[in-house]
Every structure is written in structure tokens, then in C-alpha cells.
Amino acid sequence: METVTEHTPGPWQVQNGINVVGADEYIVARGGYEGPIAHGEANARLIAAAPALLEAAQATVDAEMLDDLAIARAQLRAAIKQATGETVTA
């Protein structure tokens, strides 16, 4: 399934704790959370993981062979780690 996206290309990264920037280094989301700082940082990580989560979800849906599914599951695990702030290893 070929999907055309119009969002800022990934990967996205958290900058200064609460801002999210795209691969082009433009701000995708600017932090402004009114609650605890830890919540704002967690929100930024989740937003930054959005392109990776989308790509992994698409790969899972498109998987036709067990090898494809194993690769997609690995992408999902890495994207979840990015979203939750866990260390992502190659």
C-alpha cells in the first residue's frame, strides 16, 4: 500500500525538552504544556515518535510474509521505545 503523506518528513526529534523538530530542522510542534514538566517532555517524545509509529504501523499492515512481519515488529518496538523515552538500540 503506497501512502502519500503531506506531513513534515521524519525522523522528528525533541529539542530543548518540549519542542519537536523535523528532519528539515523546522519546528513541528512547540511545547506549551501547562502541567508538570515531565508530562510536557513525555508529550514531546510521543509527538516526535509519530512518523516512526506511522511507518511501523504501515509496515505491519502491509506485511505479507513472516520475515516482513518480524521486521515490522522490530520497527514497532523501536518506535514505542522512542515514544516512551526508553533507549533505542540499533
| pLDDT grade for 1, boundaries at 50, 70 and 90 | very low
pLDDT at 59: 86
Q: What is the pTM of this model?
A: 0.69
pLDDT at 72: 85
Which tens digit of pLDDT belongs to each residue from 17-36?
888 999 888 899 887 777 78
Which tens digit of pLDDT belongs to each residue from 35-83?
788 888 888 888 999 898 888 888 888 888 888 888 888 888 888 888 8
Instruction: Give 23's Cβ-side CA count (13 Å radius).
Output: 9
20: β partners: 14, 29
